[in-house]
Structure 1
Amino acid sequence: MQSNGARGPVRLILAVAAVVSLAASLTACSDDSSPSDAASKAASAASRAASAATRAGDSLASATAEAGRRFDEFKSGADAKDEVKLDGSASADSDGRATVKATVSNPTSSARSYVVQVDFRDKSGNLLDTTVVTVNDVAANGSKDATARSNRALTGDVDTTVARAVRH
């Protein structure tokens, strides 16, 4: 069973499969032995889309695995998700990567460091990317800003959420 975050790439792959199927049926219905120009172009576009979907899925899987590894390093940390606030929706930097400001507030009586996972989602809630930000030496009863940046260029409206955060 796929998680909700994997629905976007899965839907794209299914759509690509439908286009490939349509292209194959158009090819089978042509009058001569060579595929029609439209079917050939559709098949070529479907192939490019499938390749892009695979790369996007691989990139998301890699980012998610890396986030898991980073959090595994801090198993003894305290849950600090409520101590992290994001500054609205993401904006694109000069490379097309989504960025969002994260503010970490340390309510303890000594300096702490934080590991924060930020998810980037489309308006339908599909996970597009995830990244982990380390915010070191947040002063006692103080706060510190950091910037979360997607691992790749993202298009369209992108929402951000704090998936998890740990204080140590």
Structure 2
Amino acid sequence: MRRTKAAALSLAATTALTLAVTGCDTVKETAGDIVSTATAAVASAAEEKMNEVKDGVNATGDVKAGPTSTDGDRTVAEITATNPKGKTADYTIMVTFRDGDGNFLDSVVLNIDGVEPGKSKTGTARSNRTLSGEPTAEIAQALRH
């Protein structure tokens, strides 16, 4: 699925760039539709990954996203899970990257495993593609299991 998603994003980005260079309004709208479709596919893939978690409990309050930074050509954010329960838990977390206007840019799923009771553990959420501007990371969903 990762290769399919990467190929779709690559094709969408290449097509959007090629079509945008022509300057035609209709072509620009088509390019925008292609990028929107690819972005929706990424979001859908993240949702599917979250749905694979069995016996997960909503734990959005246990998880915090740190500020974003750049690692190579990708946007990253440190994600911290704090386990308030009495036994070790694993976390599956959907992180959404948004632009300064709050528009959706990307979504990734991160696992932080083996968080001991009363302790915190971190992981790094890494965007699927290059994001422009100054994106922020937010916790869209978190499951403790």
Shared fold (TM-score, shorter chain, > 0.5): yes
CA contact (8 A) 2:42 2:106 kept: yes
Query: Are 2:125 and 1:148 equivalent residues in the alignment?
Result: yes
Q: Secondary structure at the match of 2:127?
A: strand
Instruction: Give the superposition deviation at 1:41.
Output: 5.1
Distance 1:42 1:59, change over 3 A: closer
Kindly indicate which of the two structures has a greater share of residues assigned to strand. 2
1:87-120 Cα distance to aligned partner (Å, 9 max, x none): 12x11211x2110000110111111101101111
Once the two structures are superposed, residues 1-40 of structure 1 have per-residue CA deviations (whole angstroms, 9 ceiling, x without a partner) of xxxxxxxxxxxxxxx9xxx9xxxxxxxxxxxxxxxxxxx9
Residues in 2 aligned to 1:42 and 1:103: alpha-carbon distance in whole angstroms: 44
Confirm whether residue 65 of structure 1 aligns to residue 61 of structure 2: no
Q: Which residue of structure 2 lines up, in the alignment, with residue 8 of structure 1?
A: none
Distance 1:41 1:103, change over 3 A: closer
Contact between 2:98 and 2:104, CA under 8 Å: does it hold in 1? yes
Aligned-residue offset at 1:78: 1.0
Please, which of 93, 103, 115 is the counterpart of residue 116 of structure 1? 93
**In the alignment, which residue of structure 1 is the partner of 2:140?**
163
2:71 counterpart letter in structure 1? D
The aligned residue for residue 82 of structure 1 is 61
Larger Rg: 1
Q: Tell me what 1:91 maps to.
A: 69
Say which SS state the counterpart of residue 42 (structure 1) adopts. Answer: coil
Give the secondary-structure state (helix, strand or coil) at the position aligned to 1:153.
Answer: coil
Deviation for aligned residue 1:64: 1.0
Q: Residue 58 of structure 1: CA displacement?
A: 3.0
Give me the whole-angstrom Cα distance separating, in 2, the residues matched to 1:113 and 1:130: 20
The 2-side partners of 1:141 and 1:98 are apart by 29
Inter-partner Cα distance in structure 2 for 1:58 and 1:160: 21
Q: Percent identity?
A: 31
1:55 Cα offset (Å): 4.3
**Shift >3 Å, 4+ stretches:** 49-52
Alignment of 1:129-148 (within 5 A): 129-148=106-125
Distance in 2 between residues matched to 1:76 and 1:142, nearest whole Å: 21
Deviations 1:132-152 (A, max 9, x none): 101111112211110001111
TM-score normalised per structure 1: 0.67
Flag structure 2 segments of 5+ consecutive residues without an equivalent. 1-15
Identify the residue that residue 83 of structure 2 maps to in structure 1. 106
Gaps of 5+ in 1: 1-15, 21-39
